[in-house]
Structures are given as structure tokens and as C-alpha cells.
Chains A and B, each alone.
Chain A
Amino acid sequence: MILLENLHKTFKAKGGPVHAVKGVGFEARDGEITGLLGPNGAGKTTTLRMLYTLMSPDQGRIQVDGIDVAKDPAAVRRRLGVLPDARGIYKRLTARENVAYFGRLHGLDDATISARIDRMAEALNMHDFLDRRTEGFSQGQRTKTAIARALVHDPRNVILDEPTNGLDVMTTRGLRGFLRELRAEGRCVIFSSHIMQEVAALCDRIVVIAHGEVRAIGTPDQLREQTGLADLEDVFVRLADLGAEA
């Protein structure tokens, strides 16, 4: 269970301060997939970075399973599995070693790590490249390794920043299946994307973000109703106010 309230974040930039996030707030429930939908530069990644404690908000509050991020960031990080926007993996280590390294940093023992890797490899279909060095991996293999690494400690809350970027159809389908499994296990999943269909295919609730603000929250049907449009892409364009920019 994740709760974000009225988050603000400003960056200093050459042309003056950039107000990247202006009052973002929403709730992500356990056993649901919450989609964070917004165009590039809408503030999704910044919002998520504040959530996984890499940045501190200028204003606002974040709670993960009732723990305040500002008060105990380490405890929060332990409860989160994060696939960040930056998902570099170590190319001279094998996929297994990449995952095991993070397992150790989470303080897990070797037996637990090995059992977790087996389960993740099963779920993500990683067996044929698990013990290869990651140099030369395809985008899909790299993403799977990064996801396995993010979830090695069996977290209750899962945050994925644009996980399907650059993946082919079959890998995307496999990934969707995997996320549904996570939901079925009662986890709280947040997943950001700039593609409406992607979010609609998977998410129980959608949070539309544009220009650092939340524009709408609801199920895909609720959003259709709200805008009176049938096509999901039109709904997105209307809600994110993209038409004016085009």
C-alpha cells in the first residue's frame, strides 16, 4: 500500500527553476496494478524517484505500508522492489551474479538468494541466459535481469518505471503475465508508461499525469465515461491535454 500526498519538486536549471512535480498525489492499493500514465517529461520518473527515496520532495508526504519515507527511508527501501528508469546491469557479471549481488545488499543469505533466483527465473523464463555474462544481452534479457534483481528480496510493493520500453510483443506479453501474477499474490504494483494501450491492458486504476500534475484517476472505463470518448488513445490525449501542444 502506497500513499502519495501533494508532492512538489523543483529543479534548478540554467533557464531558471523547473517545477517538475506540482502537487501529485494518489493511492496505490495492495492487490492492484496502478498505472502511472503520462507523456515524456510529465514528471512520472521524478515522482517515482521521490517514492523510492532517491530524491526528497520539497513538499508533501509519502507512506509505504504506513511508514513515512522521510522518517525511515531504509525501511521503505526494504519494502520496495524498484525497476528504475536507469536499469544498467553489470555486463561482466552473469545474470545470476547481478541478481545475487543485490540480494546480498538486501542482507539475504545465499540459500534464500538462490531459491529466489530459481523462482524468478521460472516466472520470467530466464533459464537459457541465467548463467551467461550480460554483455551482449538483448533488451528483453536485460530488462528481465533488471526486474529479477529488483524483486530478489520478495518485496510487498513493486515499482516499475516504463518496464516495457523497447521490448518486443512476446516479451511484453510475458511481462504482463508476470505482473498479473504479482497482483494475484496481493502485492501493490505501480507501473508507469507513456502508452495508453499498455496501461489499459493491465491496470486496475490509472493515474494520468501531465505537466507535473495529476489530471485524472480512475479505471479505464471511468476515464472513458469522464471524457465521453471511446478510443483510449483519444481519452489520453484529452486528459493529458496533449492536443493543444500538437
Chain B
Amino acid sequence: MKTVWTVARKELVDLFRDRRTMLISLLMGPVLVPVLMLGIGTMIESRMRTQMESTLQLPVIGAEHAPNLIAFLETYNIETQPGPEDPDATVRGQEADVILRISPEFGEQWRESRPARVELIHDSSRQDSQIPVSRLVSVLSEYSGTLGALRGISRGVSPEAAYAVQVARRDVATPESRRAMALLFLPYFLTFFSFLGGAHLAMDATAGERERQSLEPLLATPARRAAIMGGKILGACIFGVISLVLMLLAFKLSLGFAPGAMRMINVSTPVMAMLLVVLLPMVLIGTTLLTLISATVKSMKEAQGYMTVLMLLPMVPSLMLMVNPVRNALWQFAVPFLAQNQMIMKLVRGEVVSAAEWTVYMTAGLGAGLLLWAVASRMYLREKLAVSA
């Protein structure tokens, strides 16, 4: 035990004396990530506001066929312009979000009380045009509904007869859960930082030390190898936790200044403390996995080769959930990365995590960490490890 602490302390002293490396790995994340998130959040927010509230410029083809409709649109803050010759090409070329085409038969159909035809030309794969399109669709259907009702009244039919079914929506999203939509990135950032926060130290303490030829004398001391490895893992874990705490603090402080929806994220101290507890198993998994890798590779360069893949790992659940959202189930709390994602989302959405979920989560997380630890210990006992090339 004494050896473990001696080694851990030496690794931390060694790292903290390397000021620049230490500052980069400790402060870069906590400074940059909130800036990035707030930046993206502000952009989404202001974009939505302008698109919702500003005047919508709408190119219209055949405006002359339906002057009343055009007048109606203008009362809803939609300004019409003459439409282009080739509307498809204009929309594809992203010169207009949506184009309205009124067919020449509009007037005739209108007079005969047949459904008069208008056409919306838009690109549904463009995120950007969603708001203008839905604005236009709702104004058009309002126009259609209002005039349809008037027609009914003029023929002695109750306007209600036209609505066979009335759809009422009730959105059960709590304010917190709606805010959390804006935070799909949060679990990724936090998981990533806890997973790889102590990565430099973990790799350097084994692969780097071996490369610098100081591992052989170290292993020639009477100290047990498992204890030496334990010290290195402990050192990296301590560093990982420090960087994680800084990250959480940065989130807590910066989200206080966040615009609109993000301000409602729950960053209260109890939630932050719970996030820290949730991420501890990830710190352990990250450092033991990297120690394991470092003990098997020939050089620091080879160890760093694994980093690209490791960086992608925390992203997998976020991506999967984006494409294929799954319902909460207990098994998810046992799958590394997915479990962190679910726990973080639950906490920041202000939902209650049940005792069963906590138990499964912590058991699986710490279990995986300890398993990796055991495998790394075996790797540390190999003859090859000590002998640097």
C-alpha cells in the first residue's frame, strides 16, 4: 500500500512539474468545451428566434392567380416576391428555403369551390428550411380552414361538420427535458473527459517510462509489480478526477450565463456531485484500459495510435441514440458509455435515478474497471515489459 502511494505521488509530482503539459491537459477542456457548447447553443437559439419572428421572404410563382391568398400571407408577416423561373434549381441551390407555386387553374377551381391547388417546393433534408416551411404550411392551412368554414356557413352547414376529428396536442416534456434536447453533446463531452482525462499520465507512466528506459530499474526494486502498477493507475485516476472536477465547475459556471433554454439546465451542486460520482467508474475504466494498452505496446507512439479509436468510443451511444432512440431499460445501465449517457441525461433532465439503476450502474462500471485492472496486472508481470528495446 505504501508503495502504491509512493509511486502515485511521484507520478503526480513528475507531471505537475511539466507545467505546460499539465496546463494543456487540465485547462484546455474546461475552457474550450463550455465555450463551444455555449457558442452552438447561442447560434441555435438566435437562429430559431430570427426564423420564427422575422419577415419570411417567399418567392411565389403565379401570384397573380390568387391575390387574396397573397394578401392573407402578408398579414402573417410573409412577404412575397416574384418567383424564379426554375424553382427546383433555386431550392437545390439553397437560394430560397421554400417557394410557393400557385397553379393557373387556381381561380377557376376556387370559383367552382373545388380544392384549389398550391405547391410548396422545398428540400426536406435541409434542417435550415424546417421553420420557414412549417410557418408557411400553418398559415396556408389556416387560410384553407377559415375560408372553408365561411363557405360552409354560406351554405347553411355548421363549420364544425367539416372537422370529423379534432386533434389536440399535450406535450408532456418537462421544462428540463425540453432544455436537455439542446444538450445531446453534454454526455459525450463529460464521458470523453472522464474516460481520457488521465490518458496522458496513464500512457506516459508505463509506455513513456519504458521508452525512457527508467522502467527496468524501477522493476528491479523489491517493490511488487502489482503495487507499482497500482500506484501508476492511482496517480492517473487522481489526475483524471481533478480534470473532471474542473470540467464540471466550468459547466456550472458557464451554463449560468447561457442563453435561453440552456439556462434551465440543472447545474445545482447536488446534481454536479452526482455527475461526479457517475463519472468515477469511467475514470477508472479509462486509466486501467490505457495502462493495459501501454503495458502491451512496444512504444509510446504505438500507444497513441489507439487514441483515435478510444476517442470515438464515447461518441458511439450518442450517435446511436440520435439515429435510433431507445427506451430506457435496466440493461442499458450495465453497458459502458451507453450507461454513462443514460445516467447523465437522466440527471440533467431532472429525472429520478432509481436505486436499482444506481446499483446496476455502479456495479457494472466498477466491475469493468477492476476486470481491466486484473488484466493489466497480468500484462505487467510479463517478462517483456521490463526489457526496453
Complex CA–CA separation, A180 to B291 (angstroms): 42
- Which of B209, B212, B220, B223 contacts A54, CB < 8 Å? B220
Given contacts A88-B214, A107-B2, contact A53 B383 (CB under 8 A): no
Residue among B2, B18, B219, B387 with the most chain A CB within 10 A? B387
Q: How many A-B pairs with Cβ below 8 Å?
A: 82
Docked-complex contact A89 and B223, CB < 8 angstroms: no
What residues on A are CB-neighbors of B18 within 8 Å? 92
Given contacts A105-B3, A105-B6, contact A89 B222 (CB under 8 A): no
CB distance from B207 to the nearest CB of A (A): 13
Docked-complex contact A105 and B213, CB < 8 angstroms: no
Complex CA–CA separation, A179 to B4 (angstroms): 33
CB distance from A99 to the nearest CB of B (A): 11
The verdict on B13 contacting chain A, using a C-beta distance below 8 Å, is: yes
The verdict on A56 contacting chain B, using a C-beta distance below 8 Å, is: yes
The verdict on B17 contacting chain A, using a C-beta distance below 8 Å, is: yes
Docked-complex contact B6 and A86, CB < 8 angstroms: no
Given contacts A55-B387, A101-B10, A105-B6, contact A90 B221 (CB under 8 A): no
- Which of B214, B219, B224 contacts A89, CB < 8 Å? B214
Docked-complex contact A86 and B17, CB < 8 angstroms: no
Residues of chain A in range 160-188 having any CB-CB distance to chain B below 8 Å: none
The verdict on B31 contacting chain A, using a C-beta distance below 8 Å, is: no
- Which of A84, A88, A90, A107 contacts B220, CB < 8 Å? A84
What residues on B are CB-neighbors of A105 within 8 Å? 3, 6-7, 218, 221-223, 228
Instruction: Please give me the residue from chain B that is nearest to A152 by CB atom.
Output: B221
Pick from A23-31, A74-82, A230-238 the stretch touching chain B: A74-82
| A-contact bits for B1-37, CB 8 A (1 contact / 0 none) | 0110011001001100110000000000000000000
Docked-complex contact B214 and A56, CB < 8 angstroms: no
What residues on A are CB-neighbors of B17 within 8 Å? 92-93, 133
Given contacts A49-B387, A88-B212, contact A77 B220 (CB under 8 A): yes
Complex CA–CA separation, A179 to B96 (angstroms): 87
Given contacts A92-B14, A101-B10, contact A54 B216 (CB under 8 A): yes
Complex CA–CA separation, A80 to B222 (angstroms): 9
- Which of A86, A133, A150 contacts B388, CB < 8 Å? A86
What residues on B are CB-neighbors of A85 within 8 Å? 216
CB distance from A41 to the nearest CB of B (A): 14
The verdict on B156 contacting chain A, using a C-beta distance below 8 Å, is: no
- Which of B217, B222, B224 contacts A86, CB < 8 Å? B217
The verdict on B264 contacting chain A, using a C-beta distance below 8 Å, is: no
Chain A interface residue count, CB cutoff 8 Å, equals: 33
| A-contact bits for B202-234, CB 8 A (1 contact / 0 none) | 000000010011111111111110001000000
What residues on A are CB-neighbors of B214 within 8 Å? 86-90
The verdict on A102 contacting chain B, using a C-beta distance below 8 Å, is: yes
Residue among A77, A80, A88, A89 with the most chain B CB within 10 A? A88
Complex CA–CA separation, A106 to B221 (angstroms): 7
CB distance from A153 to the nearest CB of B (A): 8
Complex CA–CA separation, A52 to B223 (angstroms): 13
The verdict on A119 contacting chain B, using a C-beta distance below 8 Å, is: no
Instruction: Please give me the residue from chain B that is nearest to A133 by CB atom.
Output: B17
The verdict on A149 contacting chain B, using a C-beta distance below 8 Å, is: yes
Complex CA–CA separation, A146 to B212 (angstroms): 13
- The contact sample of 6 A-B pairs, CB cut-off 8 A, is A54-B387, A74-B224, A86-B214, A87-B217, A88-B212, A93-B13
- Would you list the 9 A-B pairs with minimal beta carbon distance, nearest first? A88-B214, A88-B213, A86-B213, A86-B216, A92-B17, A105-B223, A77-B222, A88-B212, A105-B221
Q: List 14 extra interface pairs beyond A86-B215, A104-B2, A105-B7, CB under 8 A.
A: A54-B383, A55-B387, A82-B220, A86-B214, A87-B214, A88-B214, A88-B216, A89-B214, A90-B10, A102-B218, A104-B3, A104-B6, A105-B221, A146-B217
